[in-house]
Amino acid sequence: MNLLTELVAFLVAIGVLVVVHEYGHYSIARLCGVKVLRFSIGFGKPIVQWVSKKTGTEWTIAALPLGGYVKMLDERESDERIPAHELPHAFNRQPVGKRIAIVVAGPIANFLLAIALFALVFASGVNEPAAIVAAPPAHSAAAQAGFQGGEKIVSVTNANGNDTQPVRSWSDLRWKLLAVAFDHGHVVLAARDGGSTYDFPLDLGKLRGKDLDDDFMSHLGLEAGGGTLQVAGVEPGSAAERAGMRKGDHLRAIDGRPVDSAGTFISYVKAHAGKPLHLEVMRGNATQPLMLTVTPVGQRDDETGETVGHIGAALAAQAPSVEVRYGPIESVKLGAHRTWEIAVYSLRMFGRMITGEASLKNLSGPVTIADYAGKSARLGPSAFLSFLALVSISLGVLNLLPIPVLDGGHLLYYLVEAVTGKAVSERWQLVLQRAGLACIVALSAIALFNDLARLIHF
C-alpha cells in the first residue's frame, strides 16, 4: 500500500508541476501570437492525443511521465517550408523581448503555483510543533546562549536590533534562522520562561558550510521540546531490555537531565557508549518514578565511522503543537515571502555545492522525490501541498540556471542578443548545447546515485 501511495503521489506531483510549467510557456506564447504545434505531458510514445479545432495545437499525454514540452512553430526546427502567412507566428521571428517572456514564463508559473499552495496551507491552518526549546547539549551554541530547556521562543531580532519578527511555531523559527545561518550572523531570540520573557543572543557564526547540509538547527543545539517521550518498543536481548525498560514507559530524565525530545535523548545515549546511564521513567499508573540503569552498547555509526552508544529502544515523541492560521491577504504575502526564501536558499545551496562548501548528496532524483511525495501524502493534505510547493520552486530555480538545454540557457542567449544586438551564432549554440547536455547528464547521474545510496544505505 505504501508503494502504491508513493507512486500515485509521485505521478500527481510530477503531473501538476509539468502541466503548470509548460502551460506557462504555452499561455505566453499564445499571448505573443506564436503558433503552438504541440503541448506534451511526458515523452515517448503518445498514449492519448487530440487536436484543438480552435488553435490547431496537438495535445498529448505520452508514456514516460518525467517531464513535458511545448513545441512552437520555428523555422530552425521545421523540415518543411513554412507558408508565408504563418511566418509572423514563428517563434524565431519574434522580437527578443517576446522570446524572453515566453522562456521565463515556465519557471514563473512554478513560482506562482508555490505561492498559491503556501497561501492555501497558511489560510487553511496547520498544526506544527510549538517553538519550545529542548534541553540543549553542553557547549552548543544554544547552551552558550543560556537556554536550559523548556523556554518558548516568541520572537527573533536581527543583529542590528531594528527588525523583530514574531515566531508562531518551530517551523516558523527554523525558516527565520535559515538566512542568518547562511550569512553566519547572529540574532537575539526572545523566549518566555514561566511568566517572564528573556533575551538569548544566539551566534550562528560557528556553523560550517556543510552543517547546512543536514539539520542546521541540531548543530546549534536547538531541538523542539516541551513534550513527552515514550518507549514504543524494546529489542529482544538489547541493553534496554536488560535494564528493565518496557514498551509504554514514559522517559522523564537521563542522568538527572530532563528529557522532552527524542533527539536530545538519542544524542546523549550516542555520546556515552559503555557508560552506565541512570533513567527516570514513569510506568503505568504509578505515581512515583522508577529508576533504571542502562549501559549503551558501542556500535559503529555508518555515516561518521565513529563508535556510538545504542540501547535498542524505539521512541515515540509527543511534542506540544500549535495551530498556525493566517488571513487571506497575509497568507498570500507569506506565501510569496516563503517562496522567495526557498528560491534564494536553493540558489545559494547550489552555489555552495559548486564551490565544495556543501555536499553533492543534497541533489535528489525521482526515487527520493517519490519517497517524500508518498510520505507527505500520508501525513495529510497540508504536508503534501507544502511538498508540492517545495518541488515546484526547485523546478523553477533549476530551469533558470544558465545551462544550455534548460530555460535559463535560452534566456542567456536572448539576453546576450538584447545587449549586443546580435543573436548567438548557431555554431556556438551547438557547442554550448552539448556542454549543457553533459552538465544535465552529470547532475542526473549524481542525483540517481544519491537516490540509490539512500535506498540501500551504502
* Position with higher pLDDT, 108 vs 316: 108
Does residue 42 belong to any structural domain of this protein? no
pLDDT at 162: 77
Q: Structure pTM? A: 0.79
Instruction: State how far the Cα of 201 lies from the Cα of 222, in Å rounded to an integer.
Output: 13
* 208 and 244 inside one domain: no
Does residue 10 belong to any structural domain of this protein? no
Beta-bridge partner residues of 292: 279
pLDDT at 318: 78
Q: Give percent of the chain above pLDDT 70.
A: 90
Domain boundary at 187, 220, 253, which?
220
pLDDT of 39 > 90? The answer is: yes
* 154 and 198 inside one domain: yes
Does residue 159 belong to any structural domain of this protein? yes
Instruction: For residue 74, count other CB atoms closer than 10 A to its CB.
Output: 16
DSSP 169: S
SS3 439: helix
Mean pLDDT score, 75-99: 86
Does residue 4 belong to any structural domain of this protein? no
Instruction: State how far the Cα of 29 lies from the Cα of 13, in Å rounded to an integer.
Output: 24
Weakest-pLDDT range from 216-220, 320-324, 373-377 = 373-377
* 177 and 201 inside one domain: yes
* 245 and 212 inside one domain: no
Cell of 342: 526557498
Instruction: State how far the Cα of 243 lies from the Cα of 446, in Å rounded to an integer.
Output: 44
* 269 and 308 inside one domain: yes
Q: Is 382 left (phi over 0), alpha (psi -120 to 50) or beta?
A: alpha
Instruction: State how far the Cα of 130 lies from the Cα of 146, in Å rounded to an integer.
Output: 19
* 151 and 180 inside one domain: yes
* 167 and 236 inside one domain: no
SS3 18: helix
pLDDT of 401 > 70? The answer is: yes
First vs last C-alpha separation in the chain: 26
In this prediction, residue 458 has a pLDDT band, given cuts at 50, 70 and 90, of very low
DSSP 126: E
Instruction: State how far the Cα of 374 lies from the Cα of 311, in Å rounded to an integer.
Output: 30
* 243 and 180 inside one domain: no
**Dihedral sign, CA of 97, 100, 387, 136?**
negative
Q: How do residues 339-395 score in pLDDT, each as one tens digit?
A: 998 898 888 877 777 776 666 666 666 666 666 666 676 777 888 888 899 889 988
* 251 and 315 inside one domain: yes
Mean pLDDT score, 399-423: 87
* 203 and 240 inside one domain: no
Instruction: For residue 268, count other CB atoms closer than 10 A to its CB.
Output: 18
pLDDT of 84 > 80? The answer is: yes
The tally of domains found in the chain comes to: 2
Does residue 58 belong to any structural domain of this protein? no
Does residue 37 belong to any structural domain of this protein? no
**Residue 310 half-sphere exposure toward CB, CA atoms < 13 A:** 11
Helices and strands: H and E segment counts in the chain = 12, 16
Does residue 269 belong to any structural domain of this protein? yes
Q: Specify the pairing of strand 186-193 against strand 228-234.
A: unpaired
Domain boundary at 263, 289, 321, which?
321
Q: What are phi and psi of 59, to 5 degrees?
A: -100, 130
Place of cell 515514550: 230
Q: How do residues 113-123 score in pLDDT, each as one tens digit?
A: 999 999 999 99
* 154 and 183 inside one domain: yes
Give every CB contact of residue 264 below 8 A, 6+ residues apart in sequence. Answer: 134, 135, 136, 137, 223, 225
Does residue 357 belong to any structural domain of this protein? no
Note down the domain range covering 186.
141-220
Catalytic residues: 22
Q: Specify the pairing of strand 186-193 against strand 196-203.
A: antiparallel
* 179 and 244 inside one domain: no
Q: What are phi and psi of 2, to 5 degrees?
A: -60, -40
Instruction: State how far the Cα of 348 lies from the Cα of 184, in Å rounded to an integer.
Output: 13
Q: How do residues 134-174 score in pLDDT, each as one tens digit?
A: 888 878 888 888 888 888 999 999 877 778 888 888 888 88
Cell of 133: 526549546
Domain boundary at 266, 287, 321, which?
321
Q: How do residues 243-253 score in pLDDT, each as one tens digit?
A: 999 998 999 88
Q: What CATH number did the domain enclosing 278 receive?
A: 2.30.42.10
pLDDT at 366: 63
